[in-house]
Chain A
Amino acid sequence: MIEIRLHGRGGQGAVTASRIIAAAAFEDGLYSQAIPMYGTERRGAPLTAYVRIDNVRVRERELVHTPDYSICFDEFISMNQTIANSMKPGGIVLANSKFKPEELPLAGDIKIACVDATGIAIKHLGRPITNTAILGAFCKLCPEVSLKGVEKAIYKYFPGRVGDMNVAAARASYEQVTDLITAKNKEPPKQVEEIVSGGYGALKDVSGWRVFEPVIDEEKCIGCKTCWIYCPEAALEWTANNKPAMISRACKGCGVCANECPVKAIEMVRVQVKK
């Protein structure tokens, strides 16, 4: 039996991806199971989902605790040790990242591969929904799941033209995934920074939720306060010189401010993940 853990954010399609993997394995004649981890799901908030695949009937009904594969759909979460923890010895981590696998700060008895799924998704789907853009890469690493099966399963969930676009994204990621490397550090660090997930109430910092962030052109800005009043998070501070300034810990990157600015003084720019 192989067990897979998926890390992503609400809106990236990790739960759909878990179903596509399970459906693909089923198409290939195997038994499979997809388990979403239900909490209060929020678009942007970190979440996990799980898949089991076997050639006999899967009887387990609990969450996956020691996966063979860990797939991460989010560039920021890819920099967090959480995705490499409690893997089976020699387990494989597939991360959405523009970096080389040796550049990721992940440790343990694991192998790592990377693919720039966000880039692929933006190119093929026009939006940073990275689920299908990482599944192609996964097929290359996991002999139990074929690209053909995944393509079939994608069409089941996204018929027609949307399916074509998603299949193109999956194929691109199959081509572009890096080779597997063995992690240098065998011992994971003792203290791992928690991934802030949703839940209720006020949060400390949601800067990691953003894929795009507002960049304000002060020259163009006419100081009308439109962006400021519409921001759902009060993430724009009204400064002394009558211009808005983003409060990094509070902005979720929704793009409302840029959409409403009457003089188009705000541009949503893709966030660069730092090493």
Chain B
Amino acid sequence: MSERMTRAQVPLEEGIIFPGSTCQGCGAAMAARLTFKVMGPNVIRHGIPCCPDQSSKSPSTGSVFEGAGPSLTGTSRALKALGRTDIKAVGFFGDGGVYDISFGGLMAAAQRNENALVICKDNEAYMNTGGQHSGGTPKYAETTTDQVGPNSRGNKFHKIRAAFAFAALGVPYIATASVAFPEDLMAKVKYAKDIEGFRVILIQTPCPVGWRFDPAKTIEVARSAVQSGMWPLYEIENGSTFKLNYKPKELKPITEYLKPQARFRHMTETEINEMQTYTNQRWEEVLRADEAKRLTF
């Protein structure tokens, strides 16, 4: 498990070339900045189509959506053949990539336990192309493909809990992180970077444009997702050892998270209650796993 990091330990040096080309208050830009602060120079960054976040100083390569798993596999095997395992193959993908189009290829790479680190900046829809539904979209969120109208209440499905899908394959390390908890995020990246095998870090990165809230509130929204249990922060090792990193005495009501976001504006009380119950149940599950220090399927 990752070791706690303090603010004083956060490196002053940046790993990105700024300013980038994102919207104002972009959560993904924050995630990239924090990630590449601790990643170090020996990295080959892989990208697939997504929002621009931040350009990092490391060399990078790109492929099609479906190529996420295969291209990481190719790089990590080539590095091994060259005897340069000090250089890490790192993917920095969006949720449309990790939870949707690239899911199959990444699952296969995870099953083969390829030596690669996949970092997902999860803004819960295809925001680069105008906010279409992805596997990362939460239930009831309005997207440009799940519009609210007489016959539609927004997205019909619950967000894929991708961490558990990867856990089922027993990969060495999985973590969730949030831009509102930067030290925790960086500690996880630092720890995951040097593990051998397939590693996944899922970072929730609020999107002011797609979620429709004031760009000044990006961190506020990210924080309330964690504090309300909608985005719990945890780590899973070898598909079983489990640790919850943030455990408030009492969860905040999910309305604190939903309220500032216009994508949830249409939700009725019944729908909010349904989501509250769903969130509580999922929270109970992670609490139980944390107590047992073990994830059981």
Contact = CB atoms under 8 A, between A and B. Distances in A.
Given A255-B215, A256-B215, A43 B17 contact: no
B21 A199 contact: yes
B33 A234 contact: yes
B40 interface: no
A252 B24 contact: yes
B219 A203 contact: no
B220 A203 contact: no
Contacts of A230: 30, 179, 182, 219
Interface in B7-35: 7, 10, 12, 14, 16-27, 29-30, 33-34
Range, interface on chain B: 35 or more
Given A40-B128, A238-B12, A256-B215, A232 B22 contact: yes
A interface: dominant SS: loop
Interface string B140-156: 00000000000000000
A231 B16 CA distance: 13
B209 interface: yes
Nearest to B21: A198
A88 interface: no
A72 interface: no
Contact of B19 (A40, A41, A202): A202
Contacts of B215: 43, 254-256
Given A230-B30, A260-B219, A202 B55 contact: yes
A232 B21 contact: no
Contacts of A235: 18-19
Contact of A44 (B23, B52, B130): B23
A254 B19 contact: no
Contacts of A185: none
Interface in B37-60: 52, 54-55
Given A254-B218, A256-B215, A229 B10 contact: yes
A121 interface: no
A272 interface: no
B216 A254 contact: yes
Contacts of A44: 23-24
Interface of A: 10-11, 40-45, 198-203, 205-206, 209, 224-225, 229-235, 238, 249-256, 258-260, 268
Given A231-B30, A254-B25, 17 more contacts: A43-B23, A45-B21, A202-B21, A203-B19, A205-B19, A229-B34, A232-B30, A232-B218, A233-B20, A233-B29, A233-B33, A234-B19, A235-B18, A238-B12, A254-B215, A254-B218, A259-B220
